[in-house]
Amino acid sequence: MKILDGKKISNDIKDEISKEVNEILKSSGKQPHLAAILVGNNGASQTYVNAKVKACERVGFKSTLIRLDENISQNILLNEIEKVNNNEDIDGLIVQLPLPKNFDESLVTNSILSSKDVDGFHPLNVGNMVLNLPTFISATPAGIIELISRYNIETSGKNCVVVGRSNIVGSPMSILMSRNTNPGNATVTLAHSRTTNLKELCLKADILIVALGKANFITADMVKDGACVIDVGISRVKSEITKSGWKLIGDVNFSEVSQKCSFITPVPGGVGPMTIAMLLKNTLLASKSKI
């Protein structure tokens, strides 16, 4: 069994981005610039946004973090988005999800200029992704594709089961794995909460991608010998071993499943760091398209 080391690969990608930023700075003086809007005090969202800001520093990007109170009206948020849309210095904008209740997430996402939508959530970018046209592909599925590619995992003609149909991960993942590209060309099944024969389907998967948000949900009896297992889940559970009293675990029961599979992503250190690296890559792309 081989670990798919997202931490290492994401560091390689960040090094590649840093080099390119230095070259761009020398030739045009333009520093890529990412803006992030965080509404409210969701602990996990704060952690993710801080990690994104830190990653910007690491690769030489400018970053702007806009924090808004959770009690603001939706119009105030839409005004902030409009300001960033009109700010020529800012190349990419993300609004961290989930938003507090009372916000219309799809209206908010659709208000971001598609050319600055480095999360790839805007309908225009989702549509381009489905049609295999140049676009911003959302960072988590793009990170998984990059990980599969850099470890030379064969996907063509393989059975791929994606568990979870979210707009951010499961749904785009199923499209990327089925399209005529490499990685891709897999026969894809998208399983979800109404799927009745999940274990049977998972047992047929050469590549199993799990994005469900249920800690330790996938057990060894659900996994084919030699499968490649990608775990997108991150749940915070109590721990008596760690200093903080908490630990992060994925949707896959790692200790069991790792005995059976050929490749597996750890949690933490698998898909998570890849997501941030791909967000940076999209921001660089946004910045370059203006140079």
Q: Which residues bind ligand GUN (CB under 6 A)?
A: 94-97, 119, 139-140, 168, 275
Is 31 an annotated catalytic residue?
no
Shorter beta-carbon distance to ligand GUN: residue 229 or 278:
278
Q: Which residues contact 160 (CB under 8 A, 6 or more apart)?
A: 174, 177, 178, 186, 187, 188, 189, 205, 206, 207, 208, 209
**Which residues touch 260 (CB under 8 Å, ≥6 apart)?**
1, 220, 223, 224, 225, 226, 227
Q: Any catalytic annotation for residue 52? A: yes
Question: Which of residues 96 and 258 has its CB atom nearest to ligand GUN in the complex?
Answer: 96
Helical H segments across 73-181, by residue range:
74-86, 105-111, 123-130, 139-150, 170-178
Which of residues 135 and 275 has its CB atom nearest to ligand GUN in the complex?
A: 275
Bridge partners for 187 per DSSP: 159
Burial of 85 (0-12, 13-18, 19+ CB in 10 A): middle
**Minimal distance in Å, beta carbon 280 to ligand GUN?**
12
Cβ–Cβ under 8 Å, residues 282 and 121: no
Give dist(CA 114, CA 27) in Å, integer: 26
Angle value at C-alpha 264, between 261 and 269, nearest 5 degrees: 160
- 119 catalytic, yes or no? yes
Catalytic residue among 5, 96, 116, 206: 96
User: Which of residues 167 and 262 has its CB atom nearest to ligand GUN in the complex?
Assistant: 167
Distance of closest approach, residue 88 Cβ to ligand GUN, in angstroms: 22
Give me the least distance between CB of 91 and ligand GUN, in Å please: 16
Task: Identify which of residues 97 and 203 has a Cβ nearer to ligand GUN in the complex.
Answer: 97
Least distance (Å) from ligand GUN to the CB of residue 203? Answer: 29
Is 201 in contact with 195 (CB distance < 8 Å)? yes
Q: C-beta of 196: minimal distance to ligand GUN in Å?
A: 28
Residue number of the CB atom closest to ligand GUN: 97
Cite the active site residues. 52, 96, 119
